[in-house]
Amino acid sequence: MVIGNGQLANAFKLLKLEATVIFASGVSNSNCTDVKQFEREKRLLIDTLQNNKDKKIVYFSSCALSASDYHKNKYYIHKANMEETLKQYSSSYYIFRVPQLFGDLREHPTIINFIYNSIINDMKFKVYSDAYRYVISIEDVKILVEKYLEFGEQNATIDLANPYKYKVLEIVTIFEKLLDKKAIFEIINKEDKYTLNLISFISFVEEHGIDIEFGKQYLYKKLQEKIFIDRKIID
C-alpha cells in the first residue's frame, strides 16, 4: 500500500510490497510553516498507523534531523514529532531520512528544480555563498528502500544520501555546463550547511552490492539523464 500521490509515492506504486505501507504523503517543503499542513500529515499518519498495525510502515523524514548542530525550523520540528509518533504507534517501522530529492525537473519546489527552471527561463535568483546540500534521486531512493526492507533491521532510522556534499554554487555550475547556458544570480554572504555520518549507509550499499555510483559525479550524470528526458518531452 502506498499513501500519497507525488513523485516519491508514484515511484513505489508499481512495486509489490507485501504487508508494507509506504507513507509518502507528508509535508515535503522545508520552508513550510503552515500548521494546517502539519496537522493534516499528523492525522493521516496516525490513521494509517492505527489501520495497519500488522504491517511494516515506511516513513520519509529529513536528513537535517541527523545533524544536531543544524538549526531546526518549524518544518524540522514537525518532522521530528512525526518520527516520534511513528515510534509510538508502530512496532515495525523504517524511518528514511532523505536530503534534496530530485526526479522530474519541473514538478515540486526543490532547490534542484528551482535552479534548473530559473536558468532555462532566464530568471535571476539568489545563492548563499556557503550553502551545501546532499542530494539523491527518487529512483535511487526506491532501490535503496527495497533493499532495506529485504535486508535491513526494522525499527531503524536511516539516512539515504549521496555521500558527496555539493556546494549550491557547484550545483549551479553543473547546470550551466549541462545546459550550455549562464545562470543569472546574485551571491548572498550566508551559511547554510550540515554534515552527515554516512559510514553505516555506505557499508550497507557495499555489503549488498547495490549498483549506484555515488560520488562527486553522481549529480552531473543523473541530471544529464533528467535534462535529456525533459527536452524530449518539450520537443
Query: Do 183 and 119 form a contact (C-beta atoms < 8 A)?
Result: yes
Grid cell of 220 as nine digits:
552531473
Q: Which residue type does 61 have?
A: S
Is the CATH code 3.40.50.720 the one for domain 2-234? yes
Domain ranges of the chain: 2-234
Looking at the DSSP bridge assignments, the partners of residue 19 are none
Distance CA 159, CA 61 (A): 9
Residue corresponding to grid cell 515540486: 108
Of residues 56 and 6, the one with the higher pLDDT is: 56
Element (H, E) at 84: helix 74-89
Query: Do 174 and 220 form a contact (C-beta atoms < 8 A)?
Result: yes
Torsional sign, CA 51, 57, 63, 67: positive
pLDDT digits (tens, 9 = 90+) for 101-120: 998 887 677 899 999 999 99
Look up the pTM and report it. 0.92
Grid cell of 127 as nine digits:
545563492
Strand pairing class (125-133; 166-167): antiparallel
Residues in the chain: 235
pLDDT digits (tens, 9 = 90+) for 124-149: 999 999 999 999 999 999 999 999 99
Looking at the DSSP bridge assignments, the partners of residue 175 are none
The pLDDT score that the predictor gives to residue 233 is 53
